[in-house]
A and B are shown apart, each in its own frame.
Chain A
C-alpha cells in the first residue's frame, strides 16, 4: 500500500503522472483523487448524529450516510475508491470529508491543511461510529475513530452489557430441529485467542496512519487495507490515493446543485439525468450498492462487492420486545440467487417479510424458535409471490431466456432474554463469536448446499467438497421454484458475552471456519457492532470481494441479564 502524501497542489497525478491543472480535485487521466481541495458544502440534514455533535457531523454524515432504510434516501455509500476496486469507505473524493470532518464549514481543519487532528476532537471527532451512536445514544460508538474518545467517555467504560457470569442458565431450552447444531455451550475454552487480530490491527494500517495523516490522504487510495478498518471513520483523510476511476457510491448522491452531481468515478463529469456521468459513462451509484444500518443493539452493512454490478443481498434489522417487555433484537440477511430473475427483489422481499413476521410474533409471546420458523415461511411466501406473472421482459435479464423464479437465501438471528435463536434456508450463515477469544467460536448454521450435503453424508471431506465447482450450489432456497421448503432453526444460550455474526457467503468465503470468522471480527464488535460489520465487509472486499457482502452483528450481552440494555 502506498500512501500518497498530499500536497496542496500537485503538478502531476501521483498515481499516473498525468499533468494536472490547478484546481483539479481529481486526475483527469486515472480519476485519482488529488489533494483535498475545495469542498462542497453539504446540504441536507443527516441522519445520524445530528445535533449531538455539532456542525461537523452534518457533513460527515451526508457523505457517509449509507443507510438506506427510512433514512435519507440516496444517502449511501461511502465507497472510496481505490485501484482495483472500490474502497467503500474511507476515501473521500473531491476532498470532501465524508465523515465527521467538515471541510467547508467553519472548521479549522481544511483537509490537507495540516493533515491532522480531526479525530477525537470534538467537532470532528465523529466518524461514522459517532454518527451512528449519536443518534441512538449509544456510548461505545462514540468513540473517536482514532481511538480517542470524542465524548470523553472511555469506550470500555461503557460497555453496554453486563459481562454476565459465564455459565448462566439458558432461557431457551434447545428445541430439536433438524441437523442444526443444537445447543452449543459456546464456551469451550480454546487457546490462541486471535482476538486482537481484530479490527485495528488486523485491518492493517487502520488506525495509525489514517489517524495521523488526516488530510493528507494516506488512507485508502492505494490499498483498501490501509485505513479501512479504523481508517474508515476517518475517511476524510482519503482524497489522495490513485483512485482508479471506479465509481464511488458515496458522493454523487449527495452533491446536488445546479450543475448536477459530480461523477464519483472520473470526478470530472457530472451525472446527467439518466444517472450516468456525462464524461466517463459510469453510473451513479445505486442505493443498494452499499447499505448500512445501526440500531441500538444491532448493526448491519451490505456491499455490492467488487465483482458484481449490483447488490443482490439485502438485510433487515429491528428492535422488538418479547411479551414480557424484554427487548429483542432481530436481524435478517438474504442473498439473492443470481441465476434467477430479479434476485435483488427476492432478497429484499424476504428480509422485509421475515422481519415483519418476527416483530409481530415475538411481542405476542411466540417462542423465538417458533417465531423464527414462521418468519422463514413468511419470507418464502413473499419471495414466491414475486414469481407471479409479471410477464414483462426485464431489461437486465435480457440474456436469460429462462425465467427462473426470483429466489434467495435467508438467515436470521434473534437475540432476546439471554438467548439467541437462528433460522436459515440456503447457505447464508450465522456464527457465534465470544468476546473472550480464548473460548470457542462456533458456526450456528448448516448450509443447504451441495458441499455441506457431501460432507454431511460423509461422501467428501470438507476440503474436497468446498474445492469442488459445485460447492456453492445451494440445495435450499426461498422462491416459487423451491421444491421443498425446509426451514432450519436453532436456539442457543451462550454463557458469556459475544456477538452473533449473520452473513452471506460473500463474507464467509473469506472466513469460512468459526475460527477464521472470530479472527476477522474486531475485538470490540460487541460494543461497536456497526464498526464491526464494516470491518467484516472490508475483510471480504480485501479478500477480493467476489460476491455481494452482507453482515449483521448482534451483540450478545451474556446470559441472565436480559438482553442488551445498553
Chain B
C-alpha cells in the first residue's frame, strides 16, 4: 500500500516534560506536553506520501532533553483528498458598522486589508467575504456559496470589496452564523474565519453572541481582530478563544493589511483540522486541568468531550507547521512508595476521517507517576512546569491588575501588575514586559516594584490585555 497520493497532513510529535516523582501520599501529577507538527502545509506539504502510509515512526521516545515517552507518526490515511488541491475554506467577516467611518481611514483600511487577505488565498481554496453590521451580508460571491480561489475569483472579490461602505450596527453573532453556513457548504478539512470588528457588540445580547459561539465552536476556527480602541477586549478574545483562533489588536488601521496577510497565510498553512487532544487517565484519577500554555494560555478543561472509558478529548483546532505546549494536571490515586503508574496518556487525534472512519491517533506521549521516599527527587519541580505555571499566572495577574485598575483599586492593581512585571522578567517574556512598561513605571523588575502610570493610552491598556495570554517558551 505504498501508493497513497500525497498527503499534506503533518507529522505530530509529542514530548512530555515532567518530574514524575511524587512523595509518599502525593497525588498530583503535572506535565508539560509539547506537540509539534511538521511536514504540513506551510512548506507546501509534500511529506508523508512517499512511504507506505506516510509513516514516520522513528520517534523520540524518552530521549530529548528531559522528555518523557513520546512517539510520532504521520497520518497514514489522509491521502485521497490531496489531489483535490488545498482542502480548506475561508470566510472573511468585515465590520461595516457605522462606526467604521470614524475615522474614514478605518473603513478604507479594512477594505484594503481584506483585499490583501483575499490576494493570499491559495488557488483552489474555497472562500467568501461577509460584511457585518447588525446583520450579516454576503459580499462575495453571494448566493450562499463559496468561490473557489483563482486569479479570476480573487479579482472579482476585490472588485466587490470596493462596494463596501459603513452603516448600521454590530451583531457579531449573526456574522458568525452566516460564516458557519457558508463554510458548512464546503466538504473540506479546514474551515476558518477571519473576523474584524471595531466596536462593541451592541446590537445583540451577550447571550446571543454566546449562543452563536457555542453553535459554531468545533465547526470552524476563527481569528478575531479589533481595530482601533473602541471595541471590547473580552468580546474579541472570547470569540478567538471559543473558536480556537488568535485575538489581537490592530490599533492603527494602516497595520491591517500586514496583519490580515499574516492571518491568511497562517490559515493557509493549516493542513489538518479538528485535531483533538485526547487525554487518558487511569481509573480513579481526576483531571485537575488541561490548558494550552504556548503560544498562548487557553483554558481547555471545561471543553472536554468524553471519548471512551477514562478518556476525553479537548479541541485544539487546526494545525499547520507549528508547536504548542499544553499543561496537564492530573490527580491520581496514591499507589504507595515504590510504585509506578501511568498518570496520563496524551495523544493527538483526528476524530474522524472525512467520510467516516475511526478516530486516528496521530501521536502520543506518556505522563508517569513514580512514588518515592527520596525527597530530593520528589520535591524538585520540572523547569517546564514551573515556567508555564508562571506564564499562566502572568496572564492571570495582568487581567486582574487591569481590572482592578479600571475599578479604581490602585493598590490592588499595583500589586498585581508588579507581580506581572516580576514574572515577565524572570521568564524572559520580553513582549509582555514591554507592554507592561507602557502601563506601569517599573521601579525594580526583580522584586516586582512598580508604580501605575498616571496616564495610560487606551491602546496600551487594550494591547496589554489582549496579549496577556501570550507566553514564551522555556529558555533552553
Per-residue contact bits, chain B 276-315, to A (CB 8 Å; 1 contact, 0 not): 0000111111000000000000000000000001100000
A338–B374 alpha-carbon span in the complex (Å): 10
How many residue-residue contacts, CB under 8 A, span A and B? 84
A395–B340 alpha-carbon span in the complex (Å): 14
Chain B residues with Cβ below 8 Å from A274 are 69, 342, 345, 366
Whether B64 and A283, one on each chain, are in contact in the complex, defined by CB atoms closer than 8 angstroms, is no
Indicate whether A553 reaches chain B with its CB closer than 8 angstroms: no
Indicate whether B65 reaches chain A with its CB closer than 8 angstroms: yes
Indicate whether A392 reaches chain B with its CB closer than 8 angstroms: yes
Chain B residues with Cβ below 8 Å from A281 are 281-283, 285, 332, 341-343, 369
Chain A residues with Cβ below 8 Å from B66 are 393, 395, 398
CB contact under 8 A between A276 and B68, given known A266-B283, A309-B371: no
A107–B51 alpha-carbon span in the complex (Å): 52
A246 CB contact (under 8 Å) in B21, B282, B309, B339: B339
Closest chain B CB from A297 CB (angstroms): 33
Per-residue contact bits, chain A 272-303, to B (CB 8 Å; 1 contact, 0 not): 00101111111100000000000000000000
Indicate whether B148 reaches chain A with its CB closer than 8 angstroms: no
Whether A276 and B366, one on each chain, are in contact in the complex, defined by CB atoms closer than 8 angstroms, is yes
Segment among B201-209, B376-384, B448-456 that sits at the interface with chain A: B376-384
Indicate whether A364 reaches chain B with its CB closer than 8 angstroms: no
Indicate whether A489 reaches chain B with its CB closer than 8 angstroms: no
Chain A residues with Cβ below 8 Å from B69 are 274, 395
A382-441 contacts to B, CB under 8 A, are 392-393, 395-396, 398-400
B282 CB contact (under 8 Å) in A277, A304, A398: A277
Indicate whether B214 reaches chain A with its CB closer than 8 angstroms: no
Q: Is the interface of A mostly helix, strand, loop or mixed?
A: loop
Per-residue contact bits, chain B 313-348, to A (CB 8 Å; 1 contact, 0 not): 000000000000000000010011111111101000
Chain A residues with Cβ below 8 Å from B235 are none
> Residue of A at shortest CB range from B379?
A399
Per-residue contact bits, chain B 349-389, to A (CB 8 Å; 1 contact, 0 not): 00000000000000000100111111011001010000000
Closest chain A CB from B287 CB (angstroms): 13
Indicate whether A498 reaches chain B with its CB closer than 8 angstroms: no
Closest chain A CB from B361 CB (angstroms): 11
Whether A282 and B376, one on each chain, are in contact in the complex, defined by CB atoms closer than 8 angstroms, is no
Say which size band chain B's interface belongs to: 35 or more
A393 CB contact (under 8 Å) in B20, B65, B332, B343: B65
Chain A residues with Cβ below 8 Å from B338 are 304-309
Whether A282 and B339, one on each chain, are in contact in the complex, defined by CB atoms closer than 8 angstroms, is yes
Chain A residues with Cβ below 8 Å from B425 are none
Whether B341 and A283, one on each chain, are in contact in the complex, defined by CB atoms closer than 8 angstroms, is yes
Indicate whether A247 reaches chain B with its CB closer than 8 angstroms: yes
A465–B38 alpha-carbon span in the complex (Å): 60
Indicate whether B67 reaches chain A with its CB closer than 8 angstroms: yes
Indicate whether B218 reaches chain A with its CB closer than 8 angstroms: no
Closest chain B CB from A509 CB (angstroms): 15
Chain B residues with Cβ below 8 Å from A307 are 337-338, 373
Indicate whether B62 reaches chain A with its CB closer than 8 angstroms: yes
Per-residue contact bits, chain A 305-319, to B (CB 8 Å; 1 contact, 0 not): 111110000000000
A245–B283 alpha-carbon span in the complex (Å): 11
A279–B308 alpha-carbon span in the complex (Å): 11
Indicate whether B30 reaches chain A with its CB closer than 8 angstroms: no
Closest chain A CB from B75 CB (angstroms): 19
Chain B residues with Cβ below 8 Å from A247 are 339
Per-residue contact bits, chain B 243-272, to A (CB 8 Å; 1 contact, 0 not): 000000000000000000000000000000
A395 CB contact (under 8 Å) in B67, B284, B345: B67
Indicate whether B447 reaches chain A with its CB closer than 8 angstroms: no
Indicate whether B399 reaches chain A with its CB closer than 8 angstroms: no
Closest chain A CB from B69 CB (angstroms): 7
Closest chain A CB from B294 CB (angstroms): 20
> Residue of A at shortest CB range from B18?
A398
Closest chain B CB from A425 CB (angstroms): 24
A277–B345 alpha-carbon span in the complex (Å): 11
Known: A393-B66, A398-B382, A400-B376. 5 other contacts (CB 8 A): A276-B345, A281-B332, A395-B62, A399-B21, A400-B377
Please give me the 9 A-B residue pairs with the lowest Cβ-Cβ distance, nearest first.
A281-B282, A276-B342, A281-B342, A307-B338, A399-B380, A395-B62, A281-B341, A309-B340, A307-B337
Q: Which residues of B contact A (CB under 8 A)?
A: 18-21, 62-69, 280-285, 309-310, 332, 335-343, 345, 366, 369-374, 376-377, 380, 382
Q: List 14 A-B contacts (CB under 8 A).
A: A269-B283, A274-B342, A274-B366, A276-B345, A276-B366, A277-B342, A280-B283, A281-B341, A282-B335, A283-B342, A309-B371, A395-B69, A396-B20, A400-B377
